[in-house]
Amino acid sequence: MDKIKAVIFDLDGTLADTLPLCIKSFQLAFEEILGVKYSESEVIKYFGQTEEGIVKSLAPDRWEECLDAYIKIYTENHDLCPAVFDGVNEILEFASNNNFKMAMVTGKGVHSVYITLDYYGIRKYFEYVETGSTTGIIKDQCMEKLLKLWQIPANQAVYLGDQPSDITSSKKAGVLPIAVTWASTTNSDLLEAENPYKIFSKTSDFKIWLEKLSGCPAV
């Protein structure tokens, strides 16, 4: 394995257990604006698009109102997810202090991603933040963009994600896919079926792996 120089992170379900907040915010927004109660499954099937894409799919005639309501509800209810996963801050701090290039590639839209990064106080760790598309998953394209900006080979970067699509997107970009299963919303069997480069069920185990890569274990 070549030396790993860059760590690219997903957000929802990888750094924090925010997927339930996303789902609930969509449900409340649609109920408020449309008077419609969508089930979790009806909302989740559109995931992969940004929030704008999801509201355009479910409320094409009133999507702007629904998007505004979503952002308001998402912001006001962020206390439902008060902190990142235990150990995540330590991972980010270690990677930053040991000269790993760091970025985020998320399917979230530009508004909600910064709401969450600022809420947790972790925006400072990411040199670049690449958001999603209204039409579907573009994570592989975002990773390829980062590799060009950093001018590093794909096999010198890893991507941390909690969904099978994260693994397939990483492979398309040539980036080493790291599956993480510490979120309540993660299906470990589906992740393992995608044959990731590594799979971690604990943040502490991933940090130990990073320490070994850096050759500089943290105290």
Ramachandran assignment for 195, one of left (phi > 0), alpha (psi -120 to 50 degrees), beta (any other) = left
- Structural domain ending residue among the three candidates 39, 59, 80: 80
Where a domain ends, among 65, 80, 95? 80
Alpha carbons 197 and 176: distance in angstroms, whole number: 6
Name the residue among 93, 86, 81, 213 with its Cα closest to residue 158.
Answer: 213
Residue 70 lies in a domain: yes
172 belongs to a structural domain: yes
Active site residue 86: no
For residue 166, the enclosing domain spans 6-17+84-214
36: number of Cβ within 10 Å? 12
CA–CA separation, 164 and 155 (whole Å) = 19
92-136 pLDDT tens trace: 999 999 999 999 999 999 989 999 999 999 999 999 999 999 999
Q: How many CB atoms lie within 10 A of CB 86?
A: 11
pLDDT, tens only, 132-144 = 999 999 999 999 9
* 178 pLDDT higher than 60: yes
The pLDDT of residue 185 is 86
Q: How far apart are the first and last CA of the chain?
A: 25
Same domain for 173 and 139? yes
Catalytic, out of 10, 12, 17, 166: 10
Sheet strands side by side (includes 157-161) = 128-130, 101-105, 6-9, 157-161, 176-180, 198-200
The dihedral through the CA atoms of 18, 113, 26, 165 has a sign that is negative
pTM above threshold 0.75: yes
- Are residues 109 and 195 both part of a single domain? yes
Element (H, E) at 157: strand 157-161
